[in-house]
Amino acid sequence: MIAPEEILKKYYGYSYFRPLQREIIESVLQRNHTLGILPTGGGKSVCFQVPGLILDGVSIVITPLIALMKDQVEQLKSRGIRAAAIYSGMHPREIDNTLDNFVLGDYKFLYVSPERLETEIMIERAKRMKIGLLVVDEAHCISKWGHDFRPPYLRIANFQNYLNKNTPIIALTATATERVRKDIINNLGMNKCQVFVKSFARNNLSLFSIQTEQKSTTLLNLLKEHAGSSIVYCQTRKQTKETSDFLIKNGIQADFYHAGLENKIRFEKQEKWIKSNNNVIVSTNAFGMGIDKPDVRSVFHLDLPENLEAYYQEAGRAGRDEKESVAYVIYQQKDISDSTNLIELRYPHPERIKRIYQCLCNKYKLAVGSKALESYDFDMFDFCSTFGINSLEAHYGLKILAEQGVLLLSDSYFSPSKIMITMTGRDIYEFQLKNEILGDFLKTILRIYGGELYSNFLTIHENEIASAAKISFSETISKLEFLQKLEIIEYQKQSNSAKITFLHSRFDAEHLPVNFKEINDKKLREINEKGKVVEFATNSRKCKMQQLQEHFDEFNTKRCGHCDNCLRIDKIKMNSQRILEITSQINKIMPVSVQKLESQFDATEYDILEKILEEQFSKNNWSMDRQGLIFKIN
């Protein structure tokens, strides 16, 4: 068998592995099921690509993002390794030929989404492939307790029926608490699994949080202070453009990025930023995963992150080259209440969900006990205007009904029509003067969707425009397509009509088979996770890196020494007599948790407490167990 070091040198140009990579690879080569938790930038791909090249047969790599698939396939090809990906949008014959290459053994790495594993053609070809390794990337997606749960990941276990019993499974993720790790192992049926967890501490990354009502100005000043490539994360697409424009106006090289942009434009923006040494990319959380740029010097969040797992991944994109880097959370007090309101919006009250279902049944005239698996065209604007339902409430209600297996929403539902105006406001004004009919049509669109159309792609409903313009649906489509030909707008038409499929015969709305307790538990979990983010951002005394480590069930007794709280504590002059008194008191009540200690002392002495803990841990006088209890070392 070829040594892993030979593969590493030949294909990757490195002479040695990063921490834990060699141990993970050895476990896979011994055909053990393996779970690897490696923080962002820890080199997860090497952990399966190296053994995949050594083991006989094909490695099937399951990953959720098309961009990630394409990026890794291109990287493998550039190294002379045969790889391919199958994703939506490919021609059936292209899929057929790609799978044939793997059946014949010509290719080594096949990248697919979890949904693809359920297709008949994939199952039939898999039976004829020699599969040497099954790779589950972004494995946290399999856990309902993970920050990015995706139901299709739960069905990966079904595909394992087509594997040889000796085929090892390797699951990899950057973020997983103890609970999520157990879910990954159980849901993938990884018996006798070897688990490897790299420390979540990032010694080269300094973490800061700033509360301010002038977020843009604060960001500008920090970018001037920290040279090099940067990522700025915003919550909305509109905010990415506005922030980018503000930075450019003030002399910063910046661009914006979000999922609403055309694939070609997104790729161009991404490539330009990757090749630059001093550019800023302002983005929603659509940016970052799978992007290999080691020299990012700073990451900024202009809103509170969704949860600490997402924050750790996003902030961790800074300093992957092991050089000093910074990450800032810049927030205002209003962000805290807004984040809670958003969670409330995402989980409509059970009575509202029942009403949405009842209205759907009324719309399609379904009787109780009607035939199952019937599909119908669906238009959100028409539905909401007919029944007087808020569109956001309807959207989230439909998503819950789909997640609970009551309905099926077609792919087109999640890809509605979008437009963006490509002309300047001045040019549009002149066009309206010269073209009365189309000018009035444009005025109608602007009246409905506003001036944001000049900077962003916005979701539209052709029926809504037709109703407001008092013209037919087909005439609306014609006018939109003609405006696109004139290069006045960019019109991304929905590929097919959105459809809703009723997976069961009609239920009595009062007795929907919806687990409202599970939904409420999920809502409470999100509120709890957001609470942890708020605590992380607002806590002014505890080491930020320690807070992150503890979230991932890693208890570290040493402060990082360079986050905002550590720097502030180190500047404080301590009262030596009080230090002796507190140390003596703690010795008498051990073992004791940090939380219990904090309740024993005044808040003004928290900094002294932090200093004492650091000193006693460093001298090995005290230690801490996995439950977070401090005890004295004899």
Last residue of a domain, one of 155, 171, 197: 197
Name the residue among 105, 116, 71 with its Cα closest to residue 266: 71
The model's confidence at residue 603, banded by pLDDT at 50, 70 and 90, is low
Residues 456 and 513 in one domain: no
CA atoms within 13 A on the CB side of 441: 20
Predicted local distance difference test score (pLDDT) of residue 133: 95
329 pLDDT higher than 90: yes
Last residue of a domain, one of 306, 331, 356: 331
Q: What are 502's two structure tokens? A: 């009723």
328 pLDDT higher than 90: yes
Query: Which tens digit of pLDDT belongs to each residue from 184-203?
Result: 999 998 988 999 998 888 98
Burial class from Cβ neighbours inside 10 Å (0-12, 13-18, 19+) for residue 164 reads exposed
Q: What angle do CA 540, 545, 547 make, to 5 degrees?
A: 65
Query: Which tens digit of pLDDT belongs to each residue from 467-480?
Result: 888 888 888 988 89
Predicted local distance difference test score (pLDDT) of residue 450: 82
Name the residue among 270, 246, 303, 278 with its Cα closest to residue 455: 246
Predicted local distance difference test score (pLDDT) of residue 220: 94
Domain contains 530:
no
Query: Which tens digit of pLDDT belongs to each residue from 138-148?
Result: 898 888 766 66
Domain contains 37:
yes
Residues 306 and 441 in one domain: no
Predicted local distance difference test score (pLDDT) of residue 215: 93
Mean pLDDT of the 595-611 span: 76
CA atoms of 22 and 174, how far apart (whole Å) = 17
Domain contains 527:
no
Residues 36 and 165 in one domain: yes
* pTM for this entry: 0.73
Which stretch of DSSP H or E encloses residue 387?
A: helix 380-387
Partnered with residue 37 across adjacent β-strands are: 173, 197
Domain contains 515:
yes
CATH, residue 481: 1.10.10
The DSSP-derived string for 256-299 is EE-TTS-HHHHHHHHHHHHH-SS-EEEE-TTS-TT---TTEEEE
CA atoms of 108 and 92, how far apart (whole Å) = 21
Predicted local distance difference test score (pLDDT) of residue 252: 93
CA atoms of 607 and 429, how far apart (whole Å) = 61
Residues 394 and 511 in one domain: yes
Which stretch of DSSP H or E encloses residue 231?
A: strand 229-233
Domain contains 533:
no
Predicted local distance difference test score (pLDDT) of residue 494: 77
Residues 156 and 217 in one domain: no
CA atoms of 606 and 590, how far apart (whole Å) = 18
Mean pLDDT of the 205-213 span: 94
554 pLDDT higher than 90: no
Predicted local distance difference test score (pLDDT) of residue 298: 95
Domain contains 170:
yes
Q: Which segments of 20-109 does DSSP mark as H helices, in order?
A: 21-29, 44-54, 66-78, 92-103
Domain count, the chain: 5
28 pLDDT higher than 90: yes
Predicted local distance difference test score (pLDDT) of residue 313: 87
42 pLDDT higher than 70: no
**Residue 505: domain span:** 340-415+498-521
Mean pLDDT of the 341-361 span: 91
Q: Which residue has the higher pLDDT, 30 or 460?
A: 30
Residues 209 and 135 in one domain: no
Predicted local distance difference test score (pLDDT) of residue 62: 93
218 pLDDT higher than 90: yes
Name the residue among 324, 319, 231 with its Cα closest to residue 39: 319
Residues 284 and 359 in one domain: no
Predicted local distance difference test score (pLDDT) of residue 290: 60
Name the residue among 127, 138, 186, 131 with its Cα closest to residue 162: 127
Residues 282 and 180 in one domain: no
Please report the beta strands in 494-586, taking only residues with DSSP state E, as ranges in sequence order: 499-502
CATH, residue 293: 3.40.50.300
Query: Which tens digit of pLDDT belongs to each residue from 61-119?
Result: 999 877 778 888 988 998 999 999 998 778 888 899 999 999 988 799 999 988 898 88
Is the bond preceding 114 in cis, omega lying within 30 degrees of 0?
Answer: no
Predicted local distance difference test score (pLDDT) of residue 608: 77
Residues 325 and 213 in one domain: yes
Mean pLDDT of the 580-592 span: 85
Predicted local distance difference test score (pLDDT) of residue 323: 92
**Numbers of helices and strands, H then E, in the chain:** 26, 22
The model's confidence at residue 573, banded by pLDDT at 50, 70 and 90, is low
Residues 349 and 245 in one domain: no
134 pLDDT higher than 90: yes
Query: Which tens digit of pLDDT belongs to each residue from 279-314?
Result: 899 998 877 666 678 899 999 999 999 889 889 989
262 pLDDT higher than 80: no
Query: Which tens digit of pLDDT belongs to each residue from 367-396?
Result: 877 888 888 888 888 898 899 998 888 999
Domain contains 526:
no
> Mean pLDDT across the chain, nearest whole number?
87
Strands 418-421 and 458-459 come out as: antiparallel
Residues 482 and 505 in one domain: no
Last residue of a domain, one of 288, 305, 331: 331
The model's confidence at residue 46, banded by pLDDT at 50, 70 and 90, is very high
Percent pLDDT > 90 in the chain is 35
Query: Which tens digit of pLDDT belongs to each residue from 495-537?
Result: 777 888 998 888 988 889 999 998 998 899 889 889 999 999 9
Mean pLDDT of the 539-564 span: 87
Predicted local distance difference test score (pLDDT) of residue 36: 94
Domain contains 364:
yes
Mean pLDDT of the 175-186 span: 88
Sequence letter at residue 238: K
Residues 346 and 326 in one domain: no
